[in-house]
Amino acid sequence: MATLAMRAITTIGSCMQKYDVIILGAGAAGLMCAAQAAKRGLNVAVLEKAEKPGKKILISGGGRCNFTNIGTTPSNFLSANPHFAKSALARYRPRDFLALIEKHGIEWHEKTLGQLFCDGSAKQIVQLLLDECNDALGKVDVICDAEVTEVVKDGPANGNGTFGLIANGASYSAPAIVIATGGPSIPKMGATGFAYDLARQFGLKVVEPRPALVPLTLGEDDVLFRELSGVSAPVRARAGSGKVKGSFDEAALFTHKGLSGPAILQISSYWRHGEDIGIAFLPHSDPDWLIQMKRDHPRAGLRKALSEHLPDRLADALSMKLASTLGITTEFGNVPDKILRAAAAQLADWRFRPNGTEGFAKAEVTIGGISTTDLSSQTMEAKSVPGLFAIGEAVDVTGWLGGYNFQWAWASGVAAGSACAETFG
């Protein structure tokens, strides 16, 4: 245990502001947790380093915030322990958040695949959370421009001590604190790995953080595809292996760096350096569709067959590649069936080996984070440090694209907020 955590709280400062619980970070998870704890009568401080709360909410969903997904199940999340999220997700469901949306009169719509968005603006979600904080039995002080730089606990970390914090020169104390400072995705918004440093300070493990929901980059071997920048097509994208594998039927977009679009963002969470991804360009076609084309249109060629289903530039690139690997250069009538079957198989599982991702700068979320082995799945409290909680993106629970990450922020925030109220109220 670092000596910092053992240091006497009295060294922090004389003018201490005392609360029942202090939440670090006024993002989705932190604000939800604050509202829940205050509803049950607690006096809460939310310390936020930015100048205003909920900045990631404001830019989410293209400004309309995809605030939940009505089809949320634990299988929509990745974690070293896939069971961890079950309890919190079962106790706070998408319909519970939808009930809040209705209570606040926010107009919404379902886009695709169960994704719910505001009709108006993501600002309404931030306002909803602040209104919930204000409309509570207890009090919530959301204190902005308050970057937490130091946290100590008096007495041993595993005892029932008080936490002391310093944020922007001011001192705060509480018997419970909640780490809700998110992950390092989008550093230009001020995102950092602070949650991990703090967790490690108190002896909690951290699962290696990686960028997720992020575009993948292709190397020189795939320059032909990088030249397709701007072309998009519906595909089935696959990545991963064993129990950790994903398959998504959505659009892929070629970019000048490689691959993006919803299908690629989804599988980026399952992809590891050195592995291939598989793309089915015509995911619903029969394995013998090219042989059937040969029977029906023996004078046609591969480029024409592909351009009936795919954008012209993509059909050009794929037929050029297949010409070089399988030698399909003439009309179908002259190509043996087994070559056509091999071409259809390659189109159904086109292998790309990305050479990287576009990194945290472009990642919608971070995969990995504070290890769930050190947290209670019921309360989000650290098993070895009473009064220390962690929620939201800071924790090793990462959702798919499509409103799942906010649902985790709400559910984990509610779990921790209620547990704080039960223990520290």
Rounded distance between C-alpha atoms, residue 218 and residue 279, angstroms: 14
Maximal C-alpha separation, the chain: 88
Rounded distance between C-alpha atoms, residue 381 and residue 87, angstroms: 14
Strand (E) positions, 307-360? 350-352, 356-357
- Measured from the CB atom, the residue of 35 and 315 that comes closer to ligand FDA is 35
As measured in angstroms, the least distance from the Cβ of 175 to ligand FDA is 19
As measured in angstroms, the least distance from the Cβ of 192 to ligand FDA is 6
- Measured from the CB atom, the residue of 136 and 394 that comes closer to ligand FDA is 394
Find out whether 252 and 232 touch, Cβ atoms under 8 Å: yes
- Measured from the CB atom, the residue of 175 and 392 that comes closer to ligand FDA is 392
As measured in angstroms, the least distance from the Cβ of 411 to ligand FDA is 11
As measured in angstroms, the least distance from the Cβ of 65 to ligand FDA is 6
Find out whether 251 and 261 touch, Cβ atoms under 8 Å: yes
Find out whether 142 and 34 touch, Cβ atoms under 8 Å: yes
Which stretches of the chain bind ligand FDA, using CB under 6 A? 24-30, 47-50, 55-56, 59-61, 65-66, 147-148, 180-182, 185-186, 190, 192, 194, 364-365, 392-394, 403-406, 409
Q: Name which of 374, 372, 80 is nearest 204 in CA terms.
A: 374
Find out whether 65 and 127 touch, Cβ atoms under 8 Å: no
Find out whether 72 and 404 touch, Cβ atoms under 8 Å: yes
- Measured from the CB atom, the residue of 222 and 393 that comes closer to ligand FDA is 393
Rounded distance between C-alpha atoms, residue 130 and residue 121, angstroms: 15
When CB distances to ligand FDA are compared, the closest residue is: 27
As measured in angstroms, the least distance from the Cβ of 306 to ligand FDA is 34
- Measured from the CB atom, the residue of 314 and 390 that comes closer to ligand FDA is 390
Residue found by looking up tokens 């984990």 in the block: 412
- Measured from the CB atom, the residue of 48 and 222 that comes closer to ligand FDA is 48
As measured in angstroms, the least distance from the Cβ of 279 to ligand FDA is 24
Find out whether 376 and 361 touch, Cβ atoms under 8 Å: no
| Phi, psi values for residue 300, rounded to 5° | -80, 165
As measured in angstroms, the least distance from the Cβ of 313 to ligand FDA is 28
Find out whether 304 and 293 touch, Cβ atoms under 8 Å: no
As measured in angstroms, the least distance from the Cβ of 13 to ligand FDA is 17
- Measured from the CB atom, the residue of 372 and 405 that comes closer to ligand FDA is 405
- Measured from the CB atom, the residue of 111 and 272 that comes closer to ligand FDA is 111
Rounded distance between C-alpha atoms, residue 24 and residue 47, angstroms: 5
Q: Which residues contact 123 (CB under 8 A, 6 or more apart)?
A: 58
- According to DSSP, the β-strands at 176-179 and 21-24 are parallel
